[in-house]
Amino acid sequence: FPLLILGITESFGAGIHALNTSQLTDGVINRSKRMMLDTLGVGLLGTRTAVFNKALKYSQLFTSRERSSVWGQSDIILPPHYAAFVNGIAVHSMDFDDTWHPATHPSGAVLPALLALAETLPSQPSGLDLLLAFNVGIEVQGRLMRFSKEAYNIPERFHPPSVVGVMGSAAASAKLLGLSPEQCIHALAIAASSAGAPLANAATQTKPLHIGNAARGGLEAARLAQIGLKGNPAILDLDRGLGVYYKDYSPSAMADSAVRAYKWILEDQDVAFKRIPAHLGMHWVVDAALAAREKLQNAVGKFDLSQIRHVTLRVPPSKYVNCPLPATEHQARHSFQFNACTALLDNKVTVASFGDAQIGRSALKELLGKVSLETPEDNLPSFDKMYCEVEIATHQGPSYTARCDTFYGHWRKPLTLKHLVDKFRVNASSVLCTVGVEGVIDVIGNIERVADCSILGSYLRMTSNQEHLDRMRIL
């Protein structure tokens, strides 16, 4: 028989359809479970933000026969695509979610769509079904980002989750729905027409909508493909298709998904998990600032703001994270200057650091006035190659310099499971009761053995111990 050569988009449709649970490796299962737990934690914390509550208020204008849950809300249900929308916004509302290489936030566009969709299915999927669909959504994003060398750098023109995220959401949703290869192709084509968001909206309340829209758009694309809507079946092959987002678009077919030993992108490229709710680049500058501060304090016996004459930050070139005087929490999350100065002033950066009172402190503004920013030629705008250096010049004469090449939480220096779970507990306990927090940890930790993933949704709505008691009575 002649060998059938598929087009690029055809190969993705075939791959999405064909990948199965037996191909999930232990490495991919463990990494994706970490991603799912962290995403739920930052999403739960994000339900306390202003941008989430505005999106929720808007979304509650709509009703449908199908209803899905809102994380951390015991009594609110929404149409599935709006549940995906608001939960996706919650995940990115504080810029606390995972980051991959090439650069994107992979999980926030996929998991909210899957959990919203799962609640509408006639029979609840198993945890292993959920895990497979999640990994299909992550895999598609990883493959698409490798179509361009430009994608390996810190973005300049568009926010990557708004492009590859909506495609990942569509792929994951198509997998959970059990769509045919042809329907998977059209889900991708439909999703592509919901792709794209300008980077000018970074550091604003609109940026979290990029993740929410990606989750919603991908879910809608898969549902539309399911009922027969069609798009261009060569959407990935064409420069005028997905290629419009890249200057050097060079697509390639998806790896053969029929082989048992399928090679997942996630197997070779782990994600970064954030310790502070800010743009990933801020982690380098915070760690460098803390180390420089310690050097100064060890040398003179104390740290006093009046000792500092000038602070120099040596960072990679990136316009949207160069914000000398941030006035809002979203600007602060995208400011090398703010995060370095907060670390110097407080000897830490935390969730509370981005509140209005902290941003408006006179001492912080005074220190910001002493900062200059340099972009050395060898400091490349890539999350895999960048570094940050902080130099503190004192009135007494000496200077104290520290450099961070790899922060703790980066894929080269991953968080331990204990620290990842600790992060989840702190974030989730701001919304859920103890039973809910520990229930989510247990379900995700054993997700491949969970027969009915609806139990996860129950825990995500458990905002008080009384709800747990009521549930036990029903059971």
- DSSP string over 234-283: TTTT-TTTGGGG-TT----PPP-TTSSS---HHHH-PPB--SSSS-THHH
Q: What is the pLDDT of residue 259?
A: 77
Note whether 154 and 272 are within 8 A (CB). no
Q: What is the pLDDT of residue 375?
A: 97
CB count in 10 Å sphere of residue 314: 21
Note whether 201 and 207 are within 8 A (CB). yes
Strand partners, 313: 373, 390
Q: What is the pLDDT of residue 474?
A: 42
DSSP designation for 20: -
* Surface-to-core class of residue 248, CB atoms within 10 Å of its CB (0-12 exposed, 13-18 middle, 19+ buried): exposed
Compute the 3-state secondary structure of the chain and give helix, strand, coil in percent, each to the nearest 5. Answer: 50, 5, 40
Alpha carbons 91 and 208: distance in angstroms, whole number: 8
Strand partners, 402: 390
Alpha carbons 30 and 22: distance in angstroms, whole number: 15
Q: What is the pLDDT of residue 156?
A: 87
Q: What is the pLDDT of residue 467?
A: 52
Element (H, E) at 457: helix 454-460
DSSP designation for 373: E
Alpha carbons 248 and 144: distance in angstroms, whole number: 13
Is the model's pTM score more than 0.85? yes
User: Which residues in the chain land under pLDDT 70?
Assistant: 1-5, 465-475
399 Cβ contact list (under 8 Å, min separation 6): 391, 392, 393
> Domains in the chain and their CATH numbers?
8-273 (1.10.4100.10), 280-404 (3.30.1330.120)
Among 378, 372, 259, smallest CA distance to 18 is for: 259
190-199: pLDDT as tens digits: 999 999 999 9
Alpha carbons 459 and 471: distance in angstroms, whole number: 10
DSSP designation for 21: G
75-133: pLDDT as tens digits: 999 999 999 999 999 999 999 999 999 999 999 999 999 999 999 999 999 999 999 99
Note whether 417 and 38 are within 8 A (CB). no
| Residue 349, helix vs strand vs coil | coil
Q: What is the pLDDT of residue 464?
A: 76
303-362: pLDDT as tens digits: 899 999 999 999 999 988 999 999 999 999 999 999 999 999 999 999 999 999 999 999
Alpha carbons 246 and 239: distance in angstroms, whole number: 9
342 Cβ contact list (under 8 Å, min separation 6): 286, 349, 353, 358, 364
Question: How large a percentage of the chain has pLDDT more than 90?
Answer: 92
